[in-house]
Amino acid sequence: MSDTATTPNTVTFDQFGLHADILKAITEQGYTTPTPIQAKAIPVVLGGRDVMGAAQTGTGKTAGFALPIIQRLLPLANTSASPARHPVRALILTPTRELADQVAANVQSYAKHTALRSAVVFGGVDMNPQSAELRRGVEVLIATPGRLLDHVQQKTANLGQVQMLVLDEADRMLDMGFLPDLQRILNLLPSERQTLLFSATFSPEIKKLASTYLRNPQTIEVARSNSTATNVTQIVFEVAEGDKTGAVVQLIRERSLKQVIVFCNSKIGASRLARQLERDGVVATAIHGDRTQSERMQALDAFKRGEIEALVATDVAARGLDIAELPAVINFDLPFNAEDYVHRIGRTGRAGASGDALSLFSPNERKQLADIEKLIKRPLDVQRLAVDTPVRHHHDERGSRRDRDDRGSRRRTTGAHERPSHGAHHRQQPVDDFFLKPYEPSPSAVSASAKREEVPAAQQKPASKQPLAALLGGFGMPRKTTSSN
């Protein structure tokens, strides 16, 4: 299906033949040397070939695909006021709103000296400003799948002239049940196009997706899939479950961490931890599916400005966050899905910087730790952490169990391909709506697309799994549990 690119030696941005307007933007971004994924991907994308890129978060993969896309579209750039002269020519799909927003910011900055227009559309916010922007015409569109389909439905997005498609964090898009949406979108695109698929891991499902929709792709790998960033120091601290909050406070204080993302397995746990940290004098806020999109953006902006010390996040909410020079991440809970560990710790040590991934591990998380070590193919350094001033809130133990119940019940709700969570105490809990929908459409979107199903495949009734089964060859290939929240 593919061959693998050889590793180039020392490369500079000048050697790619990029237009001076792009090189100027790169310099203004402060990039001096291409990252390994950029060194490998840029020439291949410029050559017009499909790409299957295994690049973990923080490797600079966005510029790896965005720069050559801009270069390839430059001959079509124009300053005409006519929308017809600005059709969507490159489509970049991402699993989350935050990632879409960040990719769009990057594209915008790389293309700022050109006449190319870019826009981003994602759910949870008003459709009208997006529609207005799309009507004026954009060459590069960054989108989450659900909201893009709303715009297609409303005829504010026309994908008939797309020449280049990027599936960014494709593994996560499948995890989040976007496959039916992806298939609908792919059916709307010209078959004559260049397709670039980026994924942190190459699961059998991703390989199947690639073999279905990519043509003779070149495989580009900068790190073994499922490997963790080498510039991240990983330490696991063994603590009693009830001492975890105190441990987080202690790690933040002892290490003078000014900016840290703390990962929790559930939104309830994230909210509670943020409140407890605040009580203990750490400026903290939580981002998860119960917060509105604008609340999440505000929290993220405040965190980026350094006004918040600890951003307490669930996996989906934190997916794709790019915060420059994030010194550390803390895993308050070890994730149930080992791949989430790789994604989480990819938040730190980005683009060559070093970072610390500190994980709290309580005795009831042995299975998770073993799964992580199996995935990353090496044992983790486990240290005992003596917590000086344990912060014990009498709801802790009950709460942590409830969080796991929450997750267990959600897994049960989301379909037949699920397996029970390790050690989960199954108790019925209301289903978190956020996880049933990849986005919350605006009222206008709802009315426009009332006839179209909104719920991703992972959360639909058995019949809706048909496309997945069909795409995967109809062999009932086991599918990874939807695990992020």
Question: Contact at 8 Å (CB) between 123 and 144?
Answer: yes
Q: Pattern of binders to ligand AMP over 364-403, x per CB under 6 A? A: ----------------------------------------
Return the range that interacts with ligand AMP (CB under 6 A); candidates 58-66, 229-237, 247-255, 467-475.
Answer: 58-66
Question: Contact at 8 Å (CB) between 268 and 407?
Answer: no
Q: Is 351 a residue that touches ligand AMP (CB under 6 A)?
A: yes
* One-character DSSP codes across 241-266: GGGHHHHHHHHHHHTT-SSEEEE-SS
Nearest to ligand AMP of 102, 400 (CB atom): 102
Return the range that interacts with ligand AMP (CB under 6 A); candidates 34-42, 139-147, 335-343, 446-454.
Answer: 34-42
DSSP 8-state symbol, 472:
T
**Which residues, numbered 107-126, are part of the site for ligand AMP (CB under 6 A)?**
none
Shortest Cβ distance from residue 174 to ligand AMP (Å)?
A: 20
Q: How many CA atoms lie within 13 A of 391 on its CB side?
A: 17
Shortest Cβ distance from residue 64 to ligand AMP (Å)?
A: 7
Measured CA to CA, the distance from residue 221 to residue 241 in angstroms comes to 38
Shortest Cβ distance from residue 105 to ligand AMP (Å)?
A: 9
User: Which one among 97, 244, 319, 350 touches ligand AMP, defined by CB under 6 A?
Assistant: 350
Shortest Cβ distance from residue 235 to ligand AMP (Å)?
A: 23
Measured CA to CA, the distance from residue 287 to residue 267 in angstroms comes to 8
Nearest to ligand AMP of 34, 335 (CB atom): 34
Return the range that interacts with ligand AMP (CB under 6 A); candidates 31-39, 45-53, 140-148, 213-221.
Answer: 31-39
- Amino acid (one-letter) located at 381: D
Measured CA to CA, the distance from residue 403 to residue 351 in angstroms comes to 34
Nearest to ligand AMP of 323, 477 (CB atom): 323
**Which residues are CB-contacts of 68 (< 8 A; sequence separation ≥ 6)?**
16, 18, 41, 42, 45, 46
Q: Is 105 a residue that touches ligand AMP (CB under 6 A)?
A: no
Residues β-bridged to residue 238: 361, 384
**Which residues, numbered 302-331, are part of the site for ligand AMP (CB under 6 A)?**
322, 324
Q: Is 470 a residue that touches ligand AMP (CB under 6 A)?
A: no
Question: Contact at 8 Å (CB) between 282 and 235?
Answer: no
Distance of CA 319 to the CA centre of its chain: 4
Q: Is 198 a residue that touches ligand AMP (CB under 6 A)?
A: no
Shortest Cβ distance from residue 422 to ligand AMP (Å)?
A: 31
The helix-helix angle for 127-136 and 145-153 (nearest 10°) equals 70
Shortest Cβ distance from residue 480 to ligand AMP (Å)?
A: 23
Question: Contact at 8 Å (CB) between 246 and 388?
Answer: yes
Nearest to ligand AMP of 58, 269 (CB atom): 58
Shortest Cβ distance from residue 216 to ligand AMP (Å)?
A: 25
Nearest to ligand AMP of 60, 145 (CB atom): 60
Nearest to ligand AMP of 297, 446 (CB atom): 297
Return the range that interacts with ligand AMP (CB under 6 A); candidates 29-37, 90-98, 337-345, 456-464.
Answer: 29-37
Nearest to 454 by CA among 159, 94, 184, 186: 184
Question: Contact at 8 Å (CB) between 341 and 312?
Answer: no
Question: Contact at 8 Å (CB) between 90 and 166?
Answer: yes
Return the biggest CA–CA distance within the chain.
66
Measured CA to CA, the distance from residue 228 to residue 236 in angstroms comes to 14
Total residues belonging to the chain: 485
User: Which one among 16, 31, 213, 439 touches ligand AMP, defined by CB under 6 A?
Assistant: 31
Return the range that interacts with ligand AMP (CB under 6 A); candidates 52-60, 130-138, 411-419, 438-446.
Answer: 52-60
User: Which one among 40, 62, 169, 277 touches ligand AMP, defined by CB under 6 A?
Assistant: 62
Q: Is 60 a residue that touches ligand AMP (CB under 6 A)?
A: yes
Q: Is 240 a residue that touches ligand AMP (CB under 6 A)?
A: no
Number of residues that bind ligand AMP (CB under 6 A): 16
Measured CA to CA, the distance from residue 215 to residue 191 in angstroms comes to 10
Nearest to 259 by CA among 221, 303, 317, 196: 303
Shortest Cβ distance from residue 13 to ligand AMP (Å)?
A: 8
Tokens at 436, concatenated: 């049933």
Shortest Cβ distance from residue 202 to ligand AMP (Å)?
A: 17
Q: Is 223 a residue that touches ligand AMP (CB under 6 A)?
A: no
Phi-psi region for residue 96, left (φ > 0), alpha (ψ -120 to 50) or beta? beta
Sole residue written with tokens 């510029």: 63
Nearest to 65 by CA among 172, 219, 168: 168
Nearest to ligand AMP of 30, 75 (CB atom): 30
Site residues, ligand AMP (CB under 6 A): 31, 33-35, 38, 57-63, 322, 324, 350-351
